[in-house]
Amino acid sequence: MWYLFDIVFYAICLLSTLTNVFLYLKKYNFFSLIFFSLSTIVIAVFIALLWINLERPPLRTLAETRLWYSFFIGVIGISLYVLYRYKWIMSYAAIMMLTFLGITYFNPDTFNKSLMPALHSIWFIPHVVVYIFAYAMFGMATLLAVFGIFKLKKKQSIDRELEMVNKLINIGYTFLTLGLLFGALWAKEAWGHYWTWDPKETWAFITWIGYLLYIHIRYKYKNDTPERDFYILILAFALLLICWFGVNYLPSASNSVHTYSG
């Protein structure tokens, strides 16, 4: 499969470049949308072929989850561009898609067919997929929050950014909650307990609380300036990154049952 990933990576390089070139040429934005849509389709096809080749869902390693993140970033980027016509959103999505593929290309985990017994569960696929989708939503919301802070400093209106951020957070938080529940059901099936305060579970809960804090403050103090809320989002995303891969570098990670790629 590695030779195929070569083709996919260089194809995404070309398509991402074309996306950004045509995005800023007047009267040719439609071609940009076509090229970026092709990028997303190419990744989706590669994930499907990888799934068939490995004879298991490609969701076990960090490298494999980065492929899904790239795909979801593409879907979200297309959706936001179609709905709001923000050129830089699709430009950012194309760059992030290429970045995550590049990290995987130059620092791959081994694409092997092994799957430890705990992963032979009906909850494995929905748990990981909904989590990565939520992560992609939160990543885009965080970028918009940073842009919103910049516009506030310039005394500019942020009504559109605020609307997009809130929609992304509402959808993302729903999927994050589902991921947490699916994980608990999976844990009960695999290890006999819904929750054990494993390092991964602990940081997942901390991340969930972080975004709940944003939602709570947004509704309780909705007439206040959103700048504070945006900073909470940035902090919550930092917690998310620790939960996703930062926890693997903690001393307690060696005892975690959530280590699957050793």
Q: Which residues contact 203 (CB under 8 A, 6 or more apart)?
A: 239, 242, 243, 246, 247
Residue 149, pLDDT above cutoff 90: yes
Q: What is the pLDDT of residue 261?
A: 46
Q: Is the pLDDT of residue 210 over 90?
A: yes
Give the single-character DSSP code of 246. G
> How far, rounded to the nearest angstrom, does the alpha carbon of residue 173 sit from its chain's CA centroid?
12
Angle between helices 62-84 and 29-54 (to 10 degrees): 150
- Given a cut of 80, whether residue 190 has pLDDT beyond it is no
CB contact at 8 A, 261 and 109: yes
How confident is residue 257, by pLDDT bands cut at 50, 70 and 90?
Answer: low
| Cα distance between residue 66 and residue 71, in whole Å | 9
Coil, strand, or helix at residue 14?
helix
For residue 186, name the pLDDT band (cuts at 50, 70, 90). Answer: confident
Which contiguous run of DSSP H or E holds residue 123? none
Residue 252 has a pLDDT of: 66
pLDDT one-digit tens code per residue, 28-69: 788 999 999 999 999 999 999 999 988 888 988 888 899 999
- Alpha-carbon distance 132 to 73, whole Å? 10
Cβ–Cβ < 8 Å for 204, 243: yes
- Which element (helix H / strand E) includes 247? none
